[in-house]
Chain A
Amino acid sequence: MSEEVIINKDGLKVRKLVDLKPTTAKEYQEAMLHRVKKFSKRKDSPFNDFIENTVVQGLKAILDTKVTIDKILGSNKDKLYSTIEKILLTGL
């Protein structure tokens, strides 16, 4: 745990938060996945939907690629996004 503990003049323990570090990011992810597991037990759970699971995996792959492309594009990405946004809003 990354923290400095200060005892103030009234004897109160005050943690000076330096890094906001949890023990591990794994715990966080586990809390989320535990929730998914719980909901998956229900018959109508969206987590058991084959189509949705496939779409989510597809989106994950797109996002991974997009993050890589962002790095390559650098500051030019803003222009590209602005153009894509215009296309997405056209014809609505």
Chain B
Amino acid sequence: MYHIDGTDYLKQKYYTKTKSICPECMDKLDAEIVEENGEIWMKKTCPEHGFFKDKISSDPRYYKWTHYGTDTWSFEKDGETNPADIKGKDPRGCPYNCGLCEEHISTCQLALIDLTNRCNMNCNFCYANVRKAGYLVEPSLEDIDRIMKHFRSKPIPPVAIMFTGGEPTVRKDFPEICAMAKKHGFKEVIVATNGYGFQKKNGGLEWTKRAYEAGLDTLYFQFDGINNPTWEKTRGIKNLMAYKERVIKNCREVGLTSVVLVQTVVKGITDIEIGNVIQFAIDNIDVVRGITYQPVSLCGRITAEEIQELRITNADVIKEVERQTGGKIGLDNSWYPLSTIVEFGRIVAYLAGVEPIEFTCHPDCGFATYLVVDPKTNEMVPIMDYFDPIKIVEFSNKFWNKIKHKEKKQIKFFENFIGDFGKTLDKGVNWVDKQQLKARFLTGMLQYTRKPGKLMEMFSRMLLNGRWESVSAFTHGTLLISSMHFQDAYNLDVERCKRCIVHFGVALPDGTIFESPFCTMNTLHRPVVEKMIAKQYTEKIRNEFDTTLGQRADEIVQEVAYNGGTKKKEE
């Protein structure tokens, strides 16, 4: 199925040069990405701290497919760029000049705001936690408003925003913040959450309703598995499944039908639960829209042996999905890099006259597939059963190459002859031109569509109007499965940083906004930036939550009193 099948690419050993950083001193280094013993590795040497080697992919064939281009295929897309926010001062360049600098070659598609670093849990691998940091980071409503304004005022603004933390829902003003995001024009408002606000036994349902009605669209919901012992290993809390199920139940009751289960994949701990999470999603398909696997990022000083022991790549996750679904969702026939649909998205946006969604991230950043139910067999199948993906992508790429000049230069036929009066006539000509392009594109898509049905109706609506509502209705008939491998200092590739489409925004005390790609923020900038905005860590904050239960300490006291003084440690 690969577009490079039958070419010499597959016979060649993969090799490329890039830039990375030293995991010890964080200085910039030359790096090589090489194929060795049936795997893809990054190798780099720091003059001071020595040699480092880390696995990038466990499947060279798949890796080469995503990195070699042909006339009609390339996963490395040139992104549209917004003007730089700052002029980089560090002579070493990317990734030290975040702010955002002129070296960045993609636009932000998902804006992130850390609402707080307070959290009701204390996960051992989490970096964003008030207890570990020793200071509080919590932007005011005015700061949040400034950050949203910053993102939405760009020539190509992001359509989606995600609130992160800490646990964003520990903030009482969370619904107000969701409403603020809608007011700023974000189409999709998402929260990355362990479910705290939504699961509360007293008032959780009302709280979920308030957040939903205020504008919250999607929960990016921490979900490591279905077994309590797994949760205990990852989050240090016993019997957490009941907590997680309350979240799903409350979302269902209020009609918040867009939950994405997010599994942090840790070798030997949560990887065994990959298939369980898929089945849980299918069982709760009325509210669960997708699953995102996140191979764990490695922080701190660890040995080369430990890296090899812990490292799990996107390819490993994809192979595990294949294994745990009995080959139903296979590496060879289901998964595509996110950048696959760039041209397709540009055509839809241009023809419908809507804001484009530009997944011009690096091909290593994320992979995805859609599952749909075949109404005839009642079985979940990859969406590729409905389309011929290779043909659709090829046709879209060719079509966009032919029409992209029209986006920049409108037809000016009558204006050239009769001046300003002709502008109105040219508007009509341009409208007719778009309709004939739409007809051609739709015909092209139709011929590579294999099955009819309601889902295809939604797909044709998406092509016709490009509206967010159509995209949303389409995704409600599918289950999106993706794998996102965020970088750490061991595998950081500067080319990936430059193409990042997920950006943090931080309001600095001097009135400016610091915008940074996700991986550079977490690998390099977070400690420095957070110290600039840190607030005092008080005794009240320290004792706010019992992190062994994931609940507010004062609510536990109330419950103990209610239970006649019997301390209820487990549910």
Contacts and interface: CB of A to CB of B under 8 A. Distances in A.
Interface of A: 1, 3, 8, 10-25, 27-36, 38-39, 42, 45-47, 49, 52, 55-56, 59-60, 62-64, 66-67, 70, 81, 84-85, 88-89, 92
B92 interface: no
A85 B443 CA distance: 9
B285 A27 contact: yes
B17 interface: no
A35 B472 contact: yes
Contacts of B402: 89, 92
A24 B452 contact: no
Given A28-B285, A31-B476, A59-B446, A46 B461 contact: yes
Contacts of B278: 17, 20
Given A14-B272, A20-B328, A22-B373, A59 B442 contact: yes
A25 B464 contact: no
The 8 tightest CB contacts between A and B, nearest first, are: A32-B477, A92-B402, A20-B380, A25-B373, A35-B476, A32-B476, A39-B469, A28-B373
Interface stretch (B27-35, B225-233, B541-549): B225-233
Contacts of B391: 81
B272 A12 contact: yes
A33 B476 CA distance: 8
Given A8-B272, A32-B454, A18 B326 contact: yes
Contacts of B371: 20
B285 A12 contact: no
| B391, B443, B448: residue with the most chain A Cβ atoms closer than 10 Å | B443
A46 B469 contact: yes
A19 B548 CA distance: 38
Contact of A39 (B282, B441, B472): B472
Chain B interface mostly helix, strand, loop or mixed? Answer: helix
Contacts of B447: 66, 81, 84-85
A52 B477 contact: no
Nearest to B477: A32
A4 B552 CA distance: 39
B430 interface: no
Contacts of A12: 227, 229-230, 272-273
Interface of B: 226-227, 229-230, 255, 257, 272-273, 275-276, 278-279, 282-283, 285-287, 324-326, 328-329, 371-375, 378-381, 391, 395, 398-399, 402-403, 437, 440-444, 446-452, 454-458, 460-461, 464-465, 467, 469-470, 472-474, 476-477
Given A89-B398, A89-B399, A60 B279 contact: no
Contacts of A64: 452
A8 B324 CA distance: 14
B409 to A, nearest CB: 14
A28 B479 CA distance: 9
27 contacts: A3-B279, A8-B272, A12-B272, A14-B275, A17-B275, A20-B278, A20-B379, A21-B282, A21-B380, A22-B282, A22-B373, A22-B378, A28-B285, A28-B477, A31-B285, A31-B286, A31-B287, A31-B477, A32-B474, A34-B476, A35-B473, A46-B465, A46-B469, A63-B452, A67-B450, A81-B391, A92-B437
A22 B464 CA distance: 30
Contacts of A46: 461, 464-465, 467, 469-470
B397 to A, nearest CB: 11
Given A20-B328, A24-B378, A15 B276 contact: yes
Contact of B464 (A38, A45, A56, A81): A56
A12 B444 CA distance: 48
Contacts of A89: 398-399, 402, 440
Nearest to A37: B473
Contacts of B373: 22, 25, 28-29
Nearest to B225: A12
A63 B449 contact: yes
A62 B445 CA distance: 12
Contacts of A8: 272
A59 B275 CA distance: 37
Given A52-B465, A60-B456, A63-B449, 5 more contacts: A25-B375, A27-B285, A35-B257, A36-B458, A67-B452
Contacts of A34: 255, 257, 476
